[in-house]
């Protein structure tokens, strides 16, 4: 079975924030990271349950999973029926508990 991958508005904003920050340091790195995150999210079409659960600090109506990309970026997503919803893309080097 192949799942449909969707991005929340916040996740798209997170991706843009990560890329914008990196562009100041290295435009090449920014492009590479964006590609890796997009590629990783597309890979969730097949067997998205393969990644471990992420314990949310607040109650959430579904199980959230995390996919670590490039050792720094965390894709937080949920799986339901035939859909994968990407909720956030976070930089693992930053404190992000307040964002959830």
Q: What is the mean pLDDT of the chain?
A: 89
Q: According to the model, what pLDDT value does residue 55 have?
A: 79
Topology annotation, domain 4-99: YaeB-like fold (3.30.2310)
Q: According to the model, what pLDDT value does residue 91 have?
A: 87
- pTM of the model as a whole: 0.88
Q: What is the distance between the terminal CA atoms of the chain, rounded to a whole angstrom?
A: 30
70-96 pLDDT, tens digit each: 888 999 999 998 999 999 999 877 765
Domain layout of the chain by residue ranges: 4-99
Under 8 Å between Cβ of 7 and 86: yes
6-37 pLDDT, tens digit each: 999 999 999 999 899 889 889 998 999 999 99
Q: According to the model, what pLDDT value does residue 36 have?
A: 96
4-7: strand order across its sheet: 4-7, 83-91, 73-80, 64-69
How is residue 88 written in tokens? 């956030």
% residues pLDDT > 70 (the chain): 88
How is residue 26 written in tokens? 């290295």
Rg of the chain taking only CA atoms, in angstroms: 13
How is residue 89 written in tokens? 């893309």
Give the angle 79-4-48 at the CA atoms, nearest 5°. 40
- Residue 97's pLDDT band, with cuts at 50, 70 and 90, is low
Q: According to the model, what pLDDT value does residue 82 have?
A: 94
Under 8 Å between Cβ of 2 and 81: no
């Amino acid at each position: 079975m192949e799942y449909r991958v969707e991005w929340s508005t916040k996740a798209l904003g997170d991706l843009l924030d990560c890329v914008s920050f990196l562009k100041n340091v290295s435009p090449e790195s920014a492009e590479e990271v964006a590609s890796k995150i997009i590629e990783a999210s597309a890979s969730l079409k097949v067997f998205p349950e393969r990644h471990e659960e992420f314990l949310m600090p607040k109650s959430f109506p579904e199980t959230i999973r995390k996919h670590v990309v490039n050792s720094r970026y965390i894709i937080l997503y949920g799986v339901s029926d035939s859909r994968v919803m990407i909720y956030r893309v976070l930089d693992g080097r930053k404190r992000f508990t307040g964002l959830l």
